[in-house]
Chain A
Amino acid sequence: MTEKFDCIIIGAGPSGVATAYNLVNAGLNVVIFERGETPGSKNMFGGILYSTILNRLIPEFWKEAPVERHITRKRYSLLSKDSEIAFDLNFNAFNKPPYNNSFTVLRAKFDKWFAKKAEDAGALIITEAVVDDFITDDGKIQGVKVRMEEGAVYGDVVVCAEGANSLLAEKAGMKKKPDPGIMIMGVKEIISLPEEIINDRFCLEDGQGCAFEFFGEALGGVTGSGFIYTNKDTLSVGIGCPIAVLRNNRLKPNELIEGFKRHPSVHNLLRGGKIEEFSAHMIPEGGYNVMPELTKDGLILVGDCAGLLNPSLYKEGTNMAMASGVFAAETIIEAREKGDFSKAALNSYVKRLKESFVFKDLKRYKDVPEILHSLPGLFKEYPEGIIELLQGYFTISEKSKDENRKEIMRTFKDKVSLWKFLIDMYKTRRFFR
C-alpha cells in the first residue's frame, strides 16, 4: 500500500470502529486492519452493550442494529454450595426508548453491523489482516507493519484498538505485560432455547431481557462470578475468574464453568437447552491503578488495551471503548488542523477522558479488584454463613421462635467472625455506592 492515510486503526471492535466512524464523518481518510475473517469473528463478551455513546453516534440504532433484547430485569444472587438468596429488580421504565441503554448483543453479529456503518460512511476496512508491529522513525510512530506482502502502511497517526490481549501496546512501550491478578479469564457458552421458553422461564415479554449475576460460591468457593444473560433465542452463560486465582488454585476454566452450570439454581434455568458455542476471552480489570501511557508521538490507545473498563458491578467496557474512540477522533481532528501529532498535541485525548464519565468512574471504582482479592470470605465463608442463617430463620419447627433465633445466631457466629464480617462488609461499600 503506497497510499498514506490520515489515520490507521488497529482492530475493528467497538473502540476502533467508533474512532473510525467519527473520523470519516469529518472527512478523514481512514483504514482499519482487523485480524478476523469479519469484524467480530474473534470477539466475545458477557453480553450487555451499554449504548449511551452509540445512541449519540447512530440515534435509535436499535431499530436497525442486531440487538437481542433490552434489559428490564436484573437479578443479583448469592450462592452457597447448593442454595441461593437473590435480589431481583424489575424496571418497567426501561421498556421504552432508549431502553436504559442496555441491550444484549452477540459480538459476531453486532461488531459486523457496526463496522459496516463505518464502512458505509467511508472507512476502509481490511479484514484477515494482522498488524505485527509499528513503523517508528525518530521515536515517532509513522505507520504499521501488516502481515502481508508490501505490508508497510503509513499514516499521520495510529490508533491502537487491539483489545485486552495488548501485544502491540506493550511493543510500543506503553505498558508492561499485565499482571495475572488484574486479568480476568472469561469463559462462556451460548445455550439455545426457544424464544417462548426463555420468555416464560425468565418472566419476560417479547423483546425484554434479563441479566442474572451470581456471586458467592458461583465458582466453588474461589474469587469470581457467574452470569446468565438472555438473548432472543439463546442464553449467554459464563464465568469470570482472575488468572492469578486460577493459577494459585490450579483450576481449569472448563471445569469451573461446568461446576457453575451444575449448581441447582443455575441448572434449572438451563433445562432443555443445547450448547451451541464455547468461547474464552480476557477482561482487563486493572483500571485506574494500572493505566498505561495513553499517547505517544503518533499513537493513541483506546478501549480495552488502554484498560478502560469499569471493574465494579457494572462491568461497563463497550461504552467506555466507544467513548474513548470518540475522544480519540476529536483529538485527531484537532491535531490535524494544527498539523501536529506529537504526544503533547495528542494529550488533549487524556484531558477529554479525564473530564468524562470514563475517568471519573474508573477512579471511583479503582480499588474494587483489590478489595475483592483481599476478601476471600466473600466467596465461601460469608455466603455459606448468611444462607445458613436465613435457612435457619425460615425453617419451620416446634422450637420457640426465640430459641430458634438464638440457636442460628450461635451457629452463624461459630462459622463467621462477626467483627471481621462487619468490617469486610464495610469494605465492600465501594461496589455499590
Chain B
Amino acid sequence: MEEHLKPLGEKTLPEKLFLLRFKVDKDNHLILNKDVCWECDERVCLFICPSEVYRWDEGRKEVIVSYEGCLECGSCRIACKEGAIDWRNPRGGFGVSYKFG
C-alpha cells in the first residue's frame, strides 16, 4: 500500500508521552492532601488526567503522583471536588515544552 494510504499508526499513551520533551524538576508540583484522598470515594484524578499522572497503589493504599509526565493543563485541580490537590506551576523552565503547541 502506498505510504499515504496506510492507516494512522496507533500509539499507546506512554509512546505519545515519549514524544514530548520534559525537563524534570526534583520537586513535585502536585501535592496531595493524602488524608482527604483516603476518604475520597470518587477519585476522579485516576481517570481525568490526559497523561494519567495519578495511579492508585493497592499495596500502599494511596494515590501515587507521577508528576514527571504532567502536561500542566490544570484539569485535575478543577475536577477534584475535595480540593485535595495543591497545584503549583513547576519551577520556571521545568516541566513540559511543546515543539508545535
* Chain A interfacial positions (CB closer than 8 Å to B): 35-38, 40-45, 106-109, 111, 127-130, 132, 147-148, 164-165, 167, 177-180, 183, 185, 187, 189-191, 193-194, 197, 234, 243, 246-247, 250-254, 258, 261, 267, 270-282
Q: Which of B48, B49, B97 contacts A41 (CB 8 A)?
A: B97
CB–CB A191/B8 < 8 A: yes
CB–CB B78/A180 < 8 A: yes
Interface residues of B in 37-76 (CB under 8 A from A): 42, 44, 47-52, 71-75
CB–CB B92/A190 < 8 A: no
Q: Which of A45, A243, A275 contacts B11 (CB 8 A)?
A: A275
CB–CB A280/B93 < 8 A: no
- What are 26 A-B contacts with C-beta separation under 8 Å? A40-B98, A42-B96, A106-B101, A108-B98, A108-B100, A111-B101, A132-B89, A164-B74, A167-B89, A185-B50, A185-B75, A193-B4, A234-B100, A254-B16, A254-B51, A267-B8, A271-B5, A272-B6, A275-B11, A277-B100, A278-B51, A279-B20, A279-B101, A280-B71, A282-B73, A282-B78
List the B side residues contacting A277 at CB < 8 Å: 19-20, 98-101
List the A side residues contacting B77 at CB < 8 Å: 165, 177
CB–CB B98/A107 < 8 A: yes
CB–CB A272/B4 < 8 A: yes
Query: How many pairs of residues, A versus B, come closer than 8 Å at their CB atoms?
Result: 162
Nearest-CB distance from A369 to chain B (Å)? 15
Nearest-CB distance from B78 to chain A (Å)? 5
CB–CB A127/B93 < 8 A: yes
Q: Which of A128, A183, A197 contacts B93 (CB 8 A)?
A: A128
How distant is the Cα of A128 from the Cα of B97 in the complex, in angstroms?
A: 11
Quick one: which of B7, B19, B98, B99 has the most chain A CB within 10 A? B98
Q: Which of A37, A178, A276 contacts B97 (CB 8 A)?
A: A37
How distant is the Cα of A191 from the Cα of B9 in the complex, in angstroms?
A: 10
Q: Is B79 an interface residue (CB 8 A)?
A: yes
List the A side residues contacting B51 at CB < 8 Å: 254, 278, 280
CB–CB B16/A278 < 8 A: yes
Q: Count of B residues near A, CB < 8 Å?
A: 47
How distant is the Cα of A193 from the Cα of B95 in the complex, in angstroms?
A: 28
Beyond A197-B4, A279-B71, A280-B73, whether A42 also contacts B98 by CB under 8 A is yes
CB–CB A130/B89 < 8 A: yes
* Chain B interfacial positions (CB closer than 8 Å to A): 2-11, 13, 16-17, 19-20, 23, 42, 44, 47-52, 71-75, 77-79, 83, 87-93, 95-101
List the A side residues contacting B9 at CB < 8 Å: 274-275
How distant is the Cα of A130 from the Cα of B8 in the complex, in angstroms?
A: 38
CB–CB B6/A183 < 8 A: no
Q: Which of B13, B19, B92 contacts A127 (CB 8 A)?
A: B92
How distant is the Cα of A167 from the Cα of B86 in the complex, in angstroms?
A: 11
List the B side residues contacting A193 at CB < 8 Å: 4
How distant is the Cα of A212 from the Cα of B8 in the complex, in angstroms?
A: 18
Known: A41-B97, A254-B50, A272-B8. 20 other contacts (CB 8 A): A36-B93, A36-B97, A43-B101, A44-B98, A107-B98, A108-B98, A127-B92, A167-B88, A177-B77, A177-B83, A243-B48, A243-B75, A252-B52, A253-B50, A258-B10, A270-B8, A276-B19, A276-B100, A277-B101, A280-B71
CB–CB B8/A280 < 8 A: no
CB–CB B78/A35 < 8 A: no
How distant is the Cα of A206 from the Cα of B16 in the complex, in angstroms?
A: 30
CB–CB B75/A280 < 8 A: yes
How distant is the Cα of A189 from the Cα of B9 in the complex, in angstroms?
A: 13
List the A side residues contacting B4 at CB < 8 Å: 193-194, 197, 271-272
Q: Which of B20, B47, B72 contacts A278 (CB 8 A)?
A: B20
